[in-house]
Amino acid sequence: MESGHSQSAGVAGLLSAVLPGLGQLYNRQWVKGGGFLVGLLGLGGALVSSADLEKLQQSAATGVRPENIGHLFLLSLLILVLAVWSIVDAARTAKQSQR
């Protein structure tokens, strides 16, 4: 950490829970925070572009499994992993700055 003062681990973790990367920005880790944000935008963009809402609604109405459900699940899982990683990293870094 470059700053002379410590950050709150709870605040850093909460900010990353709201939006991955915010906790890192709070900890003044500009590149890492930007990386988490870019990763989230990339995965989120891939998820949104893969999800055809009309086909998903038709599948839900008919009970037929969508063709790309595995792809959608994988992207959702990757977003979850990124979010948890961001929360843990932000809180751990803030806690280390308190030492």
pLDDT tens, 27-72? 999 999 999 999 999 999 999 999 888 888 888 899 888 888 999 9
- Phi, psi for 69 (deg, rounded to 5): -65, -35
**Measured distance CA(64)–CA(76) in Å, rounded:** 20
Percent of the chain's residues with pLDDT above 70: 95
**pTM summary value:** 0.86
pLDDT attached to residue 5: 62
pLDDT attached to residue 18: 97
Domain extents for the chain?
9-97
CA 93 to chain centre: 17
CA 14 to chain centre: 12
Question: Which residues, in sequence order, are CB contacts of 51 under 8 Å at separation 6+?
Answer: 72
Q: Residue 82 above 90 pLDDT?
A: yes
